[in-house]
Amino acid sequence: MPDPSPIFRFAPSPTGALHLGNGFSALYSFAAAQATQAAGGRFLLRVEDIDQGRCRPEYEAAMLADLAWLGLVWETPVRRQSEHMADYAAALATLDDAGLIYPCFCTRKQIAREIAAAPSAPHGPDGARYPGTCRNLSKSARKDKIAAGTPYALRLDSAAAAARVAANLTWHDRGKGIQTCRPTAHGDVVLARKDTPTSYHLAVTVDDALQGVSCVTRGMDLFAASHVHRLLQALLDLPTPEYDHHRLLLDDEGSRLAKRQGSISLADMRAAGTDPVALRRDLGFEF
């Protein structure tokens, strides 16, 4: 059997206009796929639209138009996460059967209060970790709260999960080499949100596996998230892709570009008459 084709993906969330940093990320992945064309390299676009409160169809349409303007070509149909909730539910059921998830009824305010009150709240790569309040609720307390209609998220019991997997899970990052997974680094992450029955960590891990992604390219801001993804791969018996976390583009003040900060959008650049070929070259991509 020949090796399967290398598969790369760009996986944006349609929560606003794409900015130059998103464009860089998309081009990075596309160029990686192009570089493996002789081996059948493929490029996928995935719409990460689980946050139905923030994602909008018009953002998605604009996003596709911006990427086409940049010169990207992707396979169709595009996978839209909101259409695949059954896949995430199946993964949750596997983790539930193994006793590795629990309902969490805490509100953001309660969590913040608990963290502020703790003398030395444990911190992970993204700040203070969830203090574990609901992990210790009794079965009957959980039942009562659910029966009363209290909204809940599902969290991974990271300590129990760590005990379940090999001690030395690793993955390879193209820039940083072999990495060793720290399964509890992020604590008990949310795998299903109160408002949607999955989460970024769960959906991205399941999708990368289902789509056969062989190399996950994305920004350095998501480097630490790979600890969670590697752990989930081990728990769900999914393959581990290679990773390639690229540099982030910074603005003149040295802050990273962000949709929420109103960084200049690709649509603005297009409207201002920017030449996409020159833009690609300025960003370091020749194709």
Please report how close the Cβ of residue 23 comes to ligand GLU at its closest, in angstroms.
13
Of residues 11 and 134, the one with the C-beta less far from ligand GLU: 11
Of residues 106 and 206, the one with the C-beta less far from ligand GLU: 206
Whether the CB-CB separation of 81 and 48 falls below 8 Å is answered with: yes
Please report how close the Cβ of residue 35 comes to ligand GLU at its closest, in angstroms.
19
Please report how close the Cβ of residue 48 comes to ligand GLU at its closest, in angstroms.
4
* Secondary-structure breakdown of the chain: helix, strand, coil percentages, each rounded to the nearest 5: 40, 15, 40
Of residues 187 and 219, the one with the C-beta less far from ligand GLU: 219
- Name residue, tokens 């039942």: 143
The CA distance from 235 to 6, in Å, is: 24
Degrees to nearest 5, angle at CA 234 with 82 and 124? 80
Please report how close the Cβ of residue 204 comes to ligand GLU at its closest, in angstroms.
5
Q: Footprint of ligand GLU on this chain (CB under 6 A)?
A: 11-13, 48, 204, 218, 222
Q: What is the signed CA dihedral for 166, 167, 173, 178, rounded to 10 degrees?
A: -120
Q: In what order do the strands lie in the sheet with 190-192?
A: 101-104, 153-156, 190-192
Of residues 204 and 232, the one with the C-beta less far from ligand GLU: 204
Of residues 48 and 188, the one with the C-beta less far from ligand GLU: 48
The CA distance from 67 to 81, in Å, is: 19
Please report how close the Cβ of residue 103 comes to ligand GLU at its closest, in angstroms.
25
